[in-house]
């Protein structure tokens, strides 16, 4: 077990190092000077003189270490990552990158957790029931629309929901985290307003992912129907509910747990795109703003945070899986 833990931790460190190296060098291939672009924009509106502007750019370039050789910048960058110090934001200075991420992560985490759990539970239950021979026929009919929506990307689904439910029918807000004029004081009024604004983004992610779980779970259920332990349970005289719950559903969920870990990267990416579409102040919005303003430290921090979170969850799933399957634990 100790050897397994060490290997997985080394793998996690390798993934984070690879991702950090890529996100460090790719933005530097651009000829755009992030600091110059940022303060040139401020100069157009603030009335800086050219002399003052050059002094400010020179000062910030030295402060962020961009006047040093690229290899020295890379070494300091790698050391700061393992210290969890991503530096300051160029666009929102003197706010640090960690502060930017910590402000945005609650919105992304709440949306991501809720939609992932709901789609996983609904999709797997519908998929198992649609493959179960004794399930009622309406279950298969109910699962079919979700399967048809599998090919629709979440961002397209979000546009459709915005147009029909938000713009035409005016049932839900078109975007934002809460209504204008609502005080974010943690009251029930504020919480209900936030929940109302989260409905469309959540539906965009859920409707686009439930069908995939239905298809994969249905395929697993069909292969299990002829297994000896299922036939033995039927010959023992167990009820249909007990067979479905203890022999059928429990064994089909094992591969789905692995699929959940592998799908986390896609789910995170979809959530980020949907956040940008609905204007939610989450990680996606912070990343979009950083890209538009060439805020390299924030881009580094968010990409590394997402990469590290997904890689960590995949490593943790390898330790959770033996708890779900006693055969692996015994081996």
Displacement of CA 69 from its chain's centroid (Å) = 35
pLDDT at residue 330, rounded to an integer: 47
pTM of the model: 0.74
- Cα 292 from Cα 303, distance rounded (Å): 15
Task: Kindly give the residue spans of alpha helices, DSSP state H, lying in 64-96.
Answer: 70-82
In a domain, 31, yes or no: no
State whether the Cα torsion 35-37-40-45 is positive or negative: negative
Query: pLDDT higher for 294 or 289?
Result: 289
In a domain, 91, yes or no: no
pLDDT at residue 46, rounded to an integer: 61
Around Cβ 107, how many Cβ atoms within 10 Å? Answer: 22
Contact criterion met (CB below 8 Å) for 310 and 264? yes
pLDDT at residue 51, rounded to an integer: 64
- Cα 243 from Cα 1, distance rounded (Å): 34
User: Quick check: helix, strand or coil at residue 245?
Assistant: helix
Contact criterion met (CB below 8 Å) for 259 and 52? no
In a domain, 277, yes or no: yes
pLDDT at residue 172, rounded to an integer: 81
Residues recorded for the chain: 331
Q: Where does residue 176 fall: left (phi above 0), alpha (psi -120 to 50 degrees), or beta otherwise? A: left
Mean pLDDT for the chain overall: 78
Displacement of CA 247 from its chain's centroid (Å) = 32
In a domain, 302, yes or no: no
In a domain, 81, yes or no: no
Q: Is the pLDDT of residue 223 over 50?
A: yes
Among 189, 154, 192, 190, CA closest to 172: 192
Among 294, 309, 321, 327, CA closest to 35: 294
In a domain, 223, yes or no: yes
**Boundaries of domain holding 217:** 100-295
Question: Which residues are within 8 A (CB) of 107 and not within 5 positions of it... i.e. 6 or more apart?
Answer: 177, 275, 280, 281, 282, 283
In a domain, 204, yes or no: yes
Q: What is the mean pLDDT of residues 276-286?
A: 82
For the chain, the straight-line distance linking the first and the last C-alpha, in angstroms and rounded, comes to 11
What percentage of the chain has pLDDT greater than the value 90? Answer: 0
Supply the Cα-derived Rg of the chain in whole angstroms: 25
Buried b (16+ CB within 10 A) or exposed e, 153-181: ebeebbeebbeebbeeeeebbeeebbeee
User: Quick check: helix, strand or coil at residue 142?
Assistant: helix
Residue 122: give its domain's CATH number: 1.10.3720.10
Q: What is the mean pLDDT of residues 47-58?
A: 65
Number of domains forming the structure of the chain = 1
Q: What is the mean pLDDT of residues 188-217?
A: 84
């Amino acid at each position: 077990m100790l050897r397994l833990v060490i290997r997985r931790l080394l793998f996690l460190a390798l993934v984070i190092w690879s991702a950090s190296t890529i996100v460090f060098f790719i933005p530097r291939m651009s000829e755009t000077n992030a600091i110059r672009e940022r303060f040139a924009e401020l100069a157009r509106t603030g009335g800086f003189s050219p002399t003052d502007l050059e002094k400010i750019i020179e000062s910030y370039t030295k402060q962020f270490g961009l006047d040093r050789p690229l290899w020295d910048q890379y070494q300091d960058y790698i050391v700061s990552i393992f210290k969890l110090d991503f530096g300051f934001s160029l666009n929102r200075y003197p706010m640090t990158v960690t502060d930017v991420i910590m402000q945005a992560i609650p919105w992304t985490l709440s949306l991501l957790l809720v939609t992932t759990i709901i789609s996983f539970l609904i999709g797997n239950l519908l998929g198992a029931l649609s493959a179960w021979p004794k399930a009622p026929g309406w279950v298969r009919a109910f699962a079919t629309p979700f399967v048809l929506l599998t090919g629709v990307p979440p961002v397209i689904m979000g546009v459709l929901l915005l147009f029909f439910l938000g713009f035409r029918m005016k049932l839900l807000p078109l975007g934002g985290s809460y209504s204008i004029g609502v005080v974010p004081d943690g009251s029930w009024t504020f919480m209900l307003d936030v929940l109302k604004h989260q409905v469309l983004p959540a539906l965009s992610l859920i409707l686009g992912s439930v069908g995939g779980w239905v298809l994969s779970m249905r395929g697993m259920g069909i292969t299990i129907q002829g297994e000896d332990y299922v036939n033995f349970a039927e010959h023992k005289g167990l009820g249909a509910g007990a067979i479905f719950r203890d022999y059928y559903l429990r064994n089909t969920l094992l591969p789905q747990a692995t699929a959940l870990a592998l799908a986390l990267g896609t789910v995170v990416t979809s959530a980020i795109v949907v956040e940008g579409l609905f204007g939610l102040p989450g990680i996606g919005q912070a990343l979009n703003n950083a890209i538009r303003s060439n805020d390299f430290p924030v881009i580094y921090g968010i990409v590394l945070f997402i990469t590290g979170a997904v890689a960590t969850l995949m490593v943790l799933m390898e330790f959770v899986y033996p708890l779900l399957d006693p055969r692996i634990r015994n081996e």
